[in-house]
Chains A and B, each alone.
Chain A
Amino acid sequence: MKSLIPAIFCFLISILLLLACKKEKPNPQVIVETGKIKLSFAFFNQGQPQIFDELNYTNSAGNQYLVNEIQFFVSEVNLYSHDGKVVNIDDWEIDHYVDTDIPDTHTWEVFDPIPAGLYDSIAFRFGISEARNQSFMFVNPPESYMFWPEFLGGGYHCMKLNGKWVDTSSTLLPFDFHLGTGQIYSGNTTDVDSITGFVHNDFRVSLPLSAFSIGKDQTVHITLRMNVEKWFCEPHVYDHNIWRGDIMQKQAAMQIVKENGWNVFTISSIE
């Protein structure tokens, strides 16, 4: 009998261990009917799909030009519901990178479940807001290639629109139509040591005629169209012969780009 005491002891410990393994109670959850949205980006120029690398466009300033590529960030997408609520797209990604050379980026299947209902409009930020636009926040390409030099303000480009134009001497020259952090220089110089401040050129875009409804488990596909020629015409006429190829240190030029951006995007379709 004495020799059984340890065995009984072990048995009791086993029972104790089993009792310790209590079941977790499931948390009650509130069920909300949701659907999904998918954003696509299309590129048009003068009412037709953009053709890249071909010199067959003329802007409002009369510059003959071609477009090689367009890369930009869209962030802080908001959906304005008919009952006054705002749905922020931020559950997973806030920023979405679009690159005309990378078809996978032309579609953004939004992670966030969107409450079913009627929505009046959609808006977003072109670029990344000052608060969030930090150098090295993207560690992997292609987003990391959008960096804006630290000595010019840091962070990331809002947009790179690269192409070529025919200048007044009929020479085909490259232009880097880039939008990012602008600099304020003391005096008539672009010496980085004379920078006294920075200007953040990201801007909000509100899309008219973007009302839609979303049902339970339904995916609404919204196609956003960039009308490339609009970057050069409204409200300011942008002349490549004036601003030349590189505008990253020309805040006045970037201000024009920023102000022209208000009507570059339109809704192409909602399905």
Chain B
Amino acid sequence: MKRYFLFFVWFLCYSTSLYSQEGRNISGTVIHAVSEEPISNVDIYIPDLNKGTVSDSIGQFIISDVPAGTWKVIANHISYRRYSVKVNVYPHASAELTISLINDTTYSLPPLIVTDTSSGDIITRKAPYVITSIQPAFIHSTSIPDIGQLLRFSANVGGIRKGGSGIDPVVRGFRSGQLNVQLNSGQRIEGGCPNRMDPTAAHIEKEEINSIEVIKGPYALRFGPSIGGIINIKTKMPQPIEIPGIHIAASRSFDANRIGNAENIDVYGGDRKTYFLLTGIHKDYGNYTDGNGNEVKSAYTKYAYKGVVTRKIGENHRLSITYCENKGRNVLYPALPMDERSDNTALFSLDYKAENISDLFTGIEGKIYHSSVDHVMDNKYRSFSDTVAAISSIMAESMGYRFQLSMSLGGGTIIGGTDHERTTKDGARIKNMILQPNLPVKTEQIWNDALITNYGLFLEYFRSEALWDFIFAVRSDVNHAESEAILMKGMNGSPIYEYGKDSIFSDFVPASFSAGYTRKISEAFSVSFSAGRASRCPDMTERFIALLPVGYDNFDYLGNPSLKPETNNQADITLRFKHPSFGKLYLNGFYAYVQNYISAIRLPPSSVMPLTTGVLGVKQFTNIPSAQLSGFEAGYEYSVGKRIVVMTEAGFTYGTQSEAVVYMKNQSNQIISEKTISNDAIPEIPPFEGTFTFKYYFLKKKFVPLISFRYAAAQENISAAYEEKTTPAFWTADFRMFWNYNTHLQFLAGVSNILDKAYYEHLNRRTIGSSAKIFEPGRVVYIKISINI
């Protein structure tokens, strides 16, 4: 900790010394007008001053020492329309702007092809809290096949691995229902598996997405209720094409460790008014081998097809229809009692967007969606399938809408709107007891027509001035949950577990609010402070799950319809520093105090016995008084000349729960007493992690080799109540190189885990029937070829 403190002091001293510097800057970000993705290599210049620069790999730029006055700034790129804007530069302040470019008619480069290898995680948006984004350049230049695994490259974001795919994100110690994971700013997907083998991100393939935005903390309230953060997965969208035509972008990759391929083809075309994108994806991966040379049962096959059509209605309005089907087959999860035999996910969305409607109304966005997941699991490959053959079929549906209106008000922008989500789940586990002949098949209801509806109203006000930015958001929800009575009967008809006699209801009206303020101390240095109080209602699993092992530990879990909402009171402070001669640096510290934290307590076998073979007993979700989480993130990027870029990022979270129960055991492993302890660690929090990346640009950035190192400290802050085990420290090295041969052909090749280290993340689950955690893949050699015509 002392090292971090010294670093912080040094950073403040350095920042203060720069405070007195003379001169003003014009800085900002260049993004695509439709996809909002950053654009690199854009010439930005002020003709009257003969000053200029080029946007970097993440679309950002700074023009230094600009005198006060009004200046015309021009942005120019061969693939985009020329952009011009007048900028006011005041005597004691810098100007910041966002430049939105649209594709040029003559030189329309395919928008879906990677043009650079970039860092995995950057701050992209102007906000007083931390928003990071995993960029398309990074997404499409790695061998990582899974979205959850990609997210691990963000500071303070971990992932729970249960198999080769479907890694479940953990952000600053918040997980599952504490995070709001959504698709394209509003669409929710409820996974079928109660054990979260298919969290939201598992229903979208990496090849479908354009970027992933992570908004940390309980602040961005207009995207839905969330206490820990929002993960917004943005898929590729079509763009207007001025010369009507059809383009094709295709790629094929090979992974030598998993002995598998991934193929992707995107067909896009149309004209200025109507444009479309058709996507097809196929992936077939075998089991991977870990650093010890052991095979990890992690094979899977997935395929997807998707179509998006957008129609411009007038100059400023557009309507998009998206339909996507994602299929999973034989997806193995060695940490779970079942594998995914099949998954059929269908996603539909109708989106409307209007911009610059009038001086007062600046924008309207509307979305209607429907997500359905038909998920089938079984224990065919488990050792106990010769005594109990089990199969579960779950149908989960989410549907809803989101509508927002933006207005200019009082020098700022106010965004108001409403959203709604309706989630239903129904399904059963069917057991065939092979050991006993002539035994009737046993059906256990996992969900019993469970339903959650949530109606939300939100309001956000944002104002940006030369020296400060301010944001305030408020949100209120009406949350209703119900289920048919939960009744599990034994073979003789008497109840094993029952809750309720008719239907079970719970209703909440939680309110949330947040505020943030950024103060520009100098042209290079700003300080942001955010505070928020947000509540989230218990999710379907926490409320209604009936005796399934859905938690970190090896227990059957029972839902608790009487749970109260969790409320997170959090504050963040973020320091940002950006200077041409120093580079870019950010440092964030946060503290969260969560009331009514949802944890779980063990129930004695005298009250309820487990139903799942191999589990240790039964736990039930419950509220404990509170939990506290605190930590930091820091990132630094520096360019040495125009060829070398170094980047480093680190994050750490420390979390404790106010009370927890631990059980004393004798030598025979019998539980002989219990004890309530204070400040037990929250389970499944990643340890301190840091990454360092070095990349070099050759051939005018057409050939880019990159080497990166990742270090994860040992995790020794573990939960006694959850009997969590410590995890040793490890570090890994990856190498990859990207060659943009021309606009039609690109190559990617690399080696991850170069030294073939045997290691596992702290969040990796144990292999079922074993106390050993699943190891990460050993050395992975991969290659990818992309063509574009």
- A residues lining the B interface (CB < 8 Å): 3, 6-7, 9-10, 13-14, 16-18, 20-21, 24, 36, 90-95, 104-105, 107-111, 113, 131, 134-140, 144, 147, 149-151, 154-155
A230 to B486, CA, bound (A): 46
- A135-B492 contact, Cβ under 8 Å, with A9-B472, A10-B516: yes
CA distance A109 to B611 in the complex (A): 25
**B residues within 8 A CB of A91?**
604, 606
| Given the contacts A10-B515, A20-B533, A140 and B614 also touching, CB distance less than 8 Å | yes
Known: A9-B472, A109-B672, A155-B492. A17 touches B436 (CB 8 A): no
Among candidates B465, B472, B611, B670, residue contacting A136 with C-beta atoms closer than 8 Å: B611
- Decide: A10 and B531 in contact? CB cutoff 8 A: yes
The listed residue (A93, A94, A150, A155) touching B439 by CB distance below 8 A is A150
- Nearest chain A CB to B87's CB is how many angstroms away? 20
Are A139 and B439 in contact, with the CB atoms below 8 A? no
What distance in Å separates the Cβ of A14 from its nearest Cβ neighbour in chain B?
A: 5
Q: Which residue of A lies closest to B569 (CB)?
A: A17
Expressed in whole angstroms, the Cα–Cα distance for A92 and B665 within the complex equals 13
Contacts known (A14-B531, A149-B436); A104 close to B517, Cβ less than 8 A: no
Cα-based distance from A94 to B607 in the complex (angstroms): 9
Tell me which of A3, A6, A131 contacts B494 (CB under 8 A): A131
Known: A13-B533, A21-B569, A140-B614. 10 other contacts (CB 8 A): A6-B468, A6-B515, A7-B519, A91-B604, A94-B605, A109-B672, A131-B494, A134-B490, A135-B491, A136-B490
With a cutoff of 8 Å between Cβ atoms, the chain B residues found around residue A9 in the complex are 470, 472, 515, 517
Given contacts A24-B625, A134-B491, whether A111 and B668 have CB atoms under 8 Å apart is no
CA distance A147 to B756 in the complex (A): 47
A92 and B515 CA atoms in complex are apart in Å by 48
B672 touches A36 (CB 8 A): yes
Contact of A13 among B436, B513, B670 (CB under 8 A): B513
Complex Cα distance, B666 from A107, in Å, reads: 10
A93 touching B569, Cβ below 8 Å: no
Contact check, B609 vs A137: say whether CB atoms are below 8 A apart. yes
B interface size (C-beta, 8 A): 57
List chain B residues, Cβ under 8 A from A24: 625-626, 658
Chain A residues with CB under 8 Å of B515's CB are: 6, 9-10, 13
**Docked pose: A109 CA to B673 CA in angstroms:** 9
Complex: A17 Cα to B571 Cα, angstroms: 9
**List of A residues within 8 angstroms of B440 by Cβ:** 150
Enumerate B418-440 residues with CB–CB distance to A below 8 Å: 433, 435-440
Identify which of A109, A136, A138 contacts B666 (C-beta below 8 A).
A109
Ordered by A's residue number, 12 sampled pairs between the chains whose C-beta atoms are within 8 Å are: A9-B470, A21-B569, A21-B626, A90-B606, A92-B671, A93-B604, A93-B606, A111-B673, A136-B442, A136-B491, A137-B496, A149-B436
- Shortest C-beta distance, A270 to chain B (Å), equals 19
- Are A139 and B614 touching (Cβ within 8 A)? yes
Within B613-633, the residues touching A (CB, 8 Å) are 613-615, 625-626
Q: Within 8 Å CB of B472, what residues of A? A: 6, 9
Q: B732 in the interface, Cβ–Cβ < 8 Å? A: no
**Please, how many angstroms separate the alpha-carbon atoms of A150 and B441 in the complex?**
12
Indicate whether A154 sits within 8 Å of B672 (C-beta atoms), given known contacts A17-B533, A94-B606. Answer: no
Which residue of chain A is the closest to B659 with respect to CB atoms? A24
Check B531–A139 contact: CB distance below 8 A: no
B657 CB to closest chain A CB (Å) equals 13
Does the CB pair B605–A111 fall under 8 Å?
A: no
Q: In this assembly, does B760 line the interface, its C-beta being within 8 Å of a C-beta of chain A?
A: no
Residues of A within 8 A of B362 (CB): none
Find chain B residues with CB under 8 A from A17 CB: 531-533, 569, 571, 593
Asked whether, in the complex, the Cβ of A21 is within 8 Å of the Cβ of B593, the reply is: yes
Residue of A nearest to B625 (CB): A24
B529 at the interface (CB under 8 A from A): yes
